[in-house]
Chain A
């Protein structure tokens, strides 16, 4: 009995003293929470996160990166709790599934005294984050619309394939529609294709049956675009239209590079942004390097002229 009490006391003392005597300082822990690879872009995200983890742990021997992936908002919130209470992280890099529901769980992490980096999807309360690294969704819609206007000469019939109903998708589509306002570009139809090839293929088949003349397709995402390409080819209507995807998948960049007339351009929304966020955060944690509060990665238009710069043949995406 006495022994157990003594043991418990020692344990408690050990735990209390741990942060003081540098036991925890030996390893700086960075938690990274991202959505699981449920679609192509997220697959690229996972790949880049793993690459960055390997690279950073090699670069900084006293850094430990804890990478967790979640299939939905609820699980991601659980992950955050575990990262703080069980894994005892010093900093969190998070790509939230959804902006609004993840805001409070991230706030709790911040209140526990952790450094917080938010990637891609902004929280509804931006004061929580210490660092924000993001692609620019409205910009992506705008750049896509500008390309459409220029390529179509401001006039034509197009169809739009949307992603999964989320803030990101809305931002892109709203900015796109804002930009084509006042032109003679007419959106014939709009449907969700859930950022996946099979749905892109199906929805496009039906658009092709429904509309005898389509001048262009805004697929918004490269996975959707690949499905669209197959449907257009099957219908034998390749000469009639062009397709604009988005993200920067290697297959699509390759097509742009090879001057495929169906795919004249692509708009970047690189999943590599997670690696960038992890690197900046790690540098700040380990080297105490000063940082900006915001890094916005622009939505670059990829054309045959600059495509080779954005071609990563080894990435799974």
Chain B
């Protein structure tokens, strides 16, 4: 009897409390109003395009993080991995342009190889994290704290402590991937939308997505239900690695460089975006669209602070922190008013 009533109980809050689901969207709307009040330039198409394009990197990574967190895991290595992948991509492309000669060498084939290298590295890194967590039986926090340090050092080593810069001929070829677009929408925004859409389909419409949530809410029960828990966890990390690679492919053409400062704190931004979006840090509930909104909000806060001279720059961090807490409070507060 209790068993049959369980699904109903679970369904009720999610169906009845739209506010919880819409909380992040409300917070976003609030921020947009605030931004417009602060400076009307905020709503200009150019500014909105800037904000969304900037969001793309952490946003795409956050989509991957949604899966890892939904399974009850965490990945702290994504920022460092992004920097390392960007470094490797630049090194690979520069090396390829060299022997082929700048005349014919600097072209799309080289970019393609660079992209493949990025994707390969992302997948392998995800696999390593995932295997250490599942087969190594180490907490995800510790594993990814370790790989975070490793990737960060590797990029510093690759760059000799300095900055890796992409060959200028290659930059000209690769540039449109960041600066170009379709119908006036910048490419990174389109890719971000596509990644989010695919992420939503995977999380909400596939068996893998449902397994992620099941493992996150209770991995013992999931195991008894004949779910291959380790495999799903591993896949979530691999998916995260892939997302990082995609973000890097969009990031490299922007400034054509990678250094020890690339992607610093992206892991926290991604995790914050996921939580602001309504996914539980302890796992079990994943919300892709919430994550997207969370990522946009984080960029918006920075943007709004840059658009106003009214607040002392020394207080930027405090404002950011306060807005993040209020956003989550709004969401949790409405949820508890059942």
Contact = CB atoms under 8 A, between A and B. Distances in A.
A31 to B, nearest CB: 19
Interface string B280-321: 000000000000000000000011001101000110100000
B46 A201 contact: no
A97 B168 CA distance: 34
A230 B255 contact: yes
B259 interface: yes
Nearest to B258: A197
B16 to A, nearest CB: 41
Contact of A316 (B163, B262, B302, B316): B163
A118 B131 CA distance: 47
Interface string A229-241: 0100011000000
B85 interface: no
Interface stretch (A15-23, A188-196, A273-281): A188-196
A206 B50 contact: yes
B160 interface: yes
Main secondary structure of the interface of A (DSSP, over half): helix
Interface string A23-50: 0000000000000111110111011000
B333 interface: no
Given A46-B161, A316-B161, A317-B162, A209 B307 contact: yes
B156 interface: yes
A194 to B, nearest CB: 8
B254 A230 contact: yes
A244 interface: no
A43 B259 contact: yes
B138 to A, nearest CB: 24
A227 interface: yes
Contacts of A189: 309
B335 interface: no
* Highest count of chain B CB atoms <10 Å: which of A38, A42, A198, A251: A198
Nearest to A229: B255
A315 B162 contact: yes
A230 B251 CA distance: 13
Q: How large is the interface on B (under 10, 10 to 19, 20 to 34, 35 or more residues)?
A: 20 to 34
Contact of B159 (A201, A234, A315, A316): A316
A192 B255 contact: no
Contacts of A192: 313, 316
A223 B254 CA distance: 14
Contacts, number: 92
Given A197-B257, A198-B261, A234-B179, A206 B161 contact: no
Contacts of A227: 255
A110 to B, nearest CB: 28
B336 interface: no
B78 to A, nearest CB: 15
Interface in A250-277: 251
A42 B313 CA distance: 24
Contacts of B307: 206, 209-210
B47 interface: yes
A197 B39 CA distance: 25
Given A198-B255, A206-B303, A39 B47 contact: no
A165 B314 contact: yes
Interface in A182-214: 189-192, 194, 196-198, 201-203, 205-207, 209-210
B165 interface: yes
B306 A38 contact: no
A86 B22 CA distance: 59
A37 B314 contact: no
B260 A39 contact: yes
B161 A202 contact: no
B102 interface: no
Interface in B131-182: 156, 159-163, 165, 179
A223 B163 CA distance: 10
A209 B259 contact: no
A77 interface: no
B162 A38 contact: no
B260 A226 contact: no
A184 B177 CA distance: 41
A203 B303 CA distance: 8
B295 to A, nearest CB: 15
Given A47-B162, A210-B307, A316-B161, A190 B257 contact: no
Contacts of A43: 156, 159-163, 259-260
A195 B296 CA distance: 24
Nearest to A189: B309
B259 A191 contact: no
Given A43-B159, A46-B161, A210-B307, A205 B50 contact: yes
24 contacts: A40-B163, A40-B259, A43-B159, A43-B160, A190-B313, A191-B306, A191-B313, A192-B316, A196-B259, A197-B259, A197-B261, A202-B302, A203-B306, A205-B50, A205-B54, A206-B307, A209-B44, A209-B46, A209-B50, A210-B41, A210-B306, A226-B257, A316-B162, A317-B163
Given A197-B257, A210-B307, 17 more contacts: A36-B156, A36-B260, A43-B160, A43-B163, A44-B162, A165-B314, A189-B309, A191-B313, A198-B261, A198-B262, A201-B255, A202-B54, A205-B50, A205-B54, A206-B306, A223-B163, A226-B255
Interface of A: 36-40, 42-44, 46-47, 162, 165, 189-192, 194, 196-198, 201-203, 205-207, 209-210, 223, 226-227, 230, 234-235, 251, 315-317
